Amino acid sequence: MPQYEAINPLNACTGQPLYLQVSLQGETALIDQNNDVIIPFAAN
């Protein structure tokens, strides 16, 4: 799994897929719990 500077869960509903906002080198992406990219890295 890649190393990120920040990881923020966006939903904590039990039984629902977990989405994470991750940051790396001044860019942010949205990934799911399987580390699949939903929205690719882009500048903040």
Q: Give pLDDT tens digits along the chain (44 positions).
A: 568 999 999 876 767 788 999 999 999 999 998 999 999 999 96
Which pLDDT belongs to residue 20?
94
Which pLDDT belongs to residue 11?
78
User: What's the CA gap between 27 and 15, in Å, rounded?
Assistant: 29
Which pLDDT belongs to residue 19?
92
Closest alpha carbon to 37 in 13, 5, 28, 8: 28
Which pLDDT belongs to residue 1?
57
- What is the domain partition of the chain in residue ranges? 6-43
Query: Taking the CA of residue 33 as centre, how many other CA atoms within 13 Å lie in the half-sphere pointing to its CB?
Result: 9
Which pLDDT belongs to residue 16?
79
> What predicted TM-score, i.e. pTM, was given to this entire model?
0.79
